[in-house]
Every structure is written in C-alpha cells, then in structure tokens.
Amino acid sequence: MSINTPAMLPRLCIVSSGTDPDGSGMQIRRQLRLLRPSLPCLLQIREKHLDAAALFRLSLAVKEEAASRNALILLNERADIAMAAALDGVHLRESSCPAGKVRSFIGRMLTGKSVHSLESAVKAAESGVDYLIFGPVFDTPSKRQYGAPQGSDALGAICRTVSVPVFAIGGITPENAPLCLAEGAYGVAALSLFTDTVTLPELLETFEKLLAS
C-alpha cells in the first residue's frame, strides 16, 4: 500500500496530559523544551477541561514556546481555535465534526483523526485526513474509556487497508513500538509515557533511534 505522507510529518506524537491546571501550559512547555532538534514531533494539545477562551490562550502560549523547536502543534477537537491561534493543525476525535466538513474551512492546516475501528479508519481516510491515530493498541489507563486493547493485528489490518499514515496509540513503550512499526504503523503516539519530564529526555533519545531504523 502506498502511503501519501504530507511533507515532513513527524513520526512521534506527544499528546498533552489533560491536566494543565490553569491553561498556562506549564507542563506542555516543559515537554517542548526537552524535545530534540533532531527528532521532529507532533504535539497535540488535549485539555478537555478548559473553555474556549482558555484553550485559545493556551494555544498561543504553546505556539510561542514551539517557535524554536522541532515540533508541529495541533489542537484536539477545536478547528476554530486552532485557526485563530494559527497552530499547525487540528486533531479530530472519532466523534468530532466530520473531517470533510472541517476541511472545507480549515484550508491547508494539518488534519488528523482518532479512530477505534477499521470501519471508521476507512471512512476517515476517505474524508481526506492527513493521518490517523489508531488505538488503543495495548492496555493503558488513559485509553480504557475507548474499549479493550485491540492488539497489533488490528493495527496491521488498518495499516494495510488505508493509504494515509497511521500512528499507534495506547500503552506504547520503547519495547513494543518496533512491533507497531513492523505492522505498518507510520509512527507512535503516547500520553502518559511522556508526562514525566525526568524520564522524557532518555525516552526521546530511544524513540529517535527506533524511528530512524
């Protein structure tokens, strides 16, 4: 299956912890400062508890911090706020406004979508998204609300079916990431794994090696 990859789409996606207390983005900015110039990253702001005004302020703060880093910044769910803050893109949930409709006003901004089944992966790919995040592949506390782990076989089936890049999410570790890549994943995404800024530098170094091979 040929993969239509937008130019320079990173292969590592960091999802924010959802625990930014006041919208200042302290935790996200701390993560950004630890990124490696040699490892491009997608950073998805996913702070569901914040209202639109707070998300807008947070987006501006994160964008400013990211200016000198090797990262593309996406906002979960809200294409309008992502546009207003001139972020790099929007990441849609499986239950978000249809991607094709978002495309109609978002222009060339990067548009990704979470999917939890082969059926919705195919539908999303047809609607013109730039990439998909599929999961949960392995077990993880933050993704249990999206059902039981689906395993690397299901990931492989999706990667072989759709022609957009697929990121694996859910319980990703340096140990199981190679299996995801072997199944055809374009990259990996994680939330909890990257929240500890003490272990983050070493993890990023490990993932850089894994993703380069």
Partner 1 sequence: MIPSAPFLCYVTDESPSPVDSVRKVLEGGASMIQLRHKSASGEQLYLWAKEMQDLCRMHNAVFIVNDRVDIALAADADGVHLGQEDLPAREARKLLGPKKIMGISASTLEEALRAEMDGADYVGLGHIFETSSKEKHSRPLGPEAIAAVRAAAGIPIVAIGGINRLNAARTIASGASGIAVIAAISRAPEPERAARELVSILQHQQ
In this complex, which beta carbon is closest to partner 1, that of residue 106 or of residue 118?
106
Catalytic-role residue among 16, 59, 114, 142? 114
Q: Is 143 an annotated catalytic residue? A: yes
Residue 29 annotated in active site: no
Distance between CA atoms of 89 and 87, rounded to whole angstroms?
6
Query: Which sign does the torsion angle of CA 167, 168, 173, 176 carry?
Result: negative
Minimum CB separation of residue 184 from partner 1 in Å reads 27
First to last CA, the chain: 20
Nearer to partner 1, 88 or 208 (CB): 88
Element (H, E) at 61: helix 52-66
Which of 11, 46, 69, 123 is catalytic? The answer is 46
Token reading at 15: 């999802």
- For residue 83, the minimal CB distance to partner 1 (Å) is 6
Closest C-alpha to 112, from 85, 132, 98: 132
Active site residue 46: yes
Q: How far is the CB of 51 from partner 1 (least distance, A)?
A: 4
Tell the smallest beta-carbon distance from residue 63 to partner 1 (Å).
14
Identity of the amino acid at 150 = Q
Nearer Cβ to partner 1, position 36 or 93? 93
- Percentages helix, strand, coil for the chain (3-state, rounded to 5) are 40, 15, 45
Taking the least distance from each CB to partner 1, the nearer of 31 and 59 is 59
Of the candidates 162, 75, 138, the one whose C-alpha atom is nearest the C-alpha of residue 112 is 75
Shortest CB 182 distance to partner 1, Å: 33
Nearer to partner 1, 34 or 84 (CB): 84
Which of the following is catalytic: 59, 142, 143, 152? 143
Binding site residues, partner 1, CB under 8 A: 51-54, 56, 77-81, 83-84, 92-93, 95-98, 101-102, 104-105
Count of other CB atoms within 10 angstroms of residue 211: 18
- Residue 107, SS3? coil
Catalytic sites, residue numbers: 46, 114, 143
